[in-house]
Each structure stands twice: as structure tokens, then as C-alpha cells.
Amino acid sequence: MNRLFFFAIILLSSCTSLNKVQSTGEMNKNSNEYTYSDPDSKIRYDISNDSKYLHIRLNTVDYTAVSKILISGLRICFDVNGKKSTKVFFEYPLSQNRRALGQGRPGPTAGTTDGFNLNRIINGLSNEAEFDRDGVKERIILTSNDSDIKASIKAVSNDEITYDLIIPIRM
């Protein structure tokens, strides 16, 4: 199959929901190129697929968006019918991670980056994620070799993150 089209809806927990998009065939893209952007949430994103996997990549330099993702978590919903259903979703990081970090927000004061160490916060995130298919929840350990789903958050700089999700199309 040269091209498989999938609808993916990206919803950010506590962030503005992004538009419905259709994935494109996976190409060798520059890691800093994004097809879509949402001006309200200040997130750039790209969704593509190959014959086996759906690839979702997000990027933001917005302090508020970074904070919301790291504290409240990120939920990506999938709906092949494009009806914005939230019955099938992947969530990472989980919103309870803020308690594990021992703080209410990642930086000392909202809107500033004084003393802010993004790598430390990302390294403090749990390696657990959740995949929910119509109410059947599956806990995923992202560092496990047994998991078909791969997700990561990386600090590009001290004020920019990239979120990568690779999930089998069969799921």
C-alpha cells in the first residue's frame, strides 16, 4: 500500500483543540518542517504514515503550551470517520505527572524562564502512557521493548519541545 489515509484529531488536554487533519505518506522531511500549525495554541504539527505506522510530530516554543503539555498531559484522539470522537486516544504524559514532579508548574513564574530547566522537567516525567480503545484502557511503558507504540518529548532548547508519537495503524 503506497498511501494509507487516516484521519487524526489532536486534542490537547487543557489546550485548544487542533483541527481535523489527514495524514500524508511518510517522506524524508527535515525534522524542523511542519505541515500544519495552530495559531491559538501556538503548536506546529505534522501527521504522516507509512505502510505500518502513523507518525505524529508536534513542536512549540510557547511557554504556556509547553507548561500545559508537561503539567496537564497531552491527549491525541483518533477518529477514522473524522467526527472528532474521543473514544480512541493516546495520552502522554499523563496529567498526574505534575505530582511526581513535586511542583505545580514547570517554571518559577508563568511567562518567565528564569531558573527554568526544561531537560530536568522532561527527565522527571513518568515513562507511562495510556492507550484507550472504546473504554478498554491499556497502560504502556514507553521504555519497554515490548510496546509497539513509541512516544517521546525532547527539549530542543530550554524553551522549545518536540513531541513524537509513532503508533501502529492496526491499533
Q: What is the pLDDT along the chain (171 residues), one digit of tens a residue?
A: 333 333 333 333 334 455 556 555 555 555 678 989 999 999 999 999 999 999 999 999 999 999 999 999 999 998 878 888 889 999 999 985 444 444 444 444 444 445 678 999 999 999 999 999 989 999 999 988 888 999 999 999 988 999 999 999 988
Scanning the structure block, which residue is given the C-alpha cell 518559577?
Answer: 108
Provide Rg for the chain, Cα atoms: 16
Identify the pLDDT of residue 91: 96
161 grid coordinates: 519541545
Residues 162 and 154: beta-carbon distance below 8 Å: yes
Q: pTM score, two decimals?
A: 0.74
CA distance to 24, 30, 51, 52, 117, per residue, from 2 (Å): 10, 21, 7, 11, 42
Cβ neighbors of 143 (< 8 A, separation 6 or more) are 127
